[in-house]
Every structure is written in structure tokens, then in C-alpha cells.
Amino acid sequence: MNVLLALIPISLFLGLLGLLAFIWSVRSHQYDDLEGESHRILDKRFDDSPPE
């Protein structure tokens, strides 16, 4: 029973930490352009590999 007194606050803290990380990622616009990167990777203008 004593272990629950330690595990419950730890789990609440980790859950709150995950929630704060998610809120930070939304506010810093991490999820705005979901399809742009997939189109840019196929475009030759953004290809920085050495010429053949």
C-alpha cells in the first residue's frame, strides 16, 4: 500500500509532463504542415546530394 503513495504522484507528474510537451509542440507549430515535407523530399530543387 505504501508503494501506491509513491507511484500515484510519480505517474501524475509524468502524465502532466507529457501533456505539457504536447501543448508546447502544438503552440510551436510542429503539426502545421503535415504534407509539405512529403512533397519537398521528392522535389529536385531541395535535393542537396552531389551531382552525378
pLDDT tens digits for range 1-52:
889 999 999 999 999 999 999 999 999 988 887 777 777 777 777 667 666 6
Largest CA distance in the chain: 67
- At residue 15's C-alpha, the angle toward residues 9 and 19, to 5°, is 140
Contact partners, residue 46, CB within 8 Å, separation at least 6: 40
Beta strands in 1-52 (DSSP E): none
Residue 31 C-beta-side C-alpha neighbours within 13 Å:
6
- pTM score over 0.85: no
What pLDDT score does 5 carry?
93
Question: What was the pLDDT predicted at 52?
Answer: 65
How many of the other CB atoms lie within 10 Å of CB of 30? 10
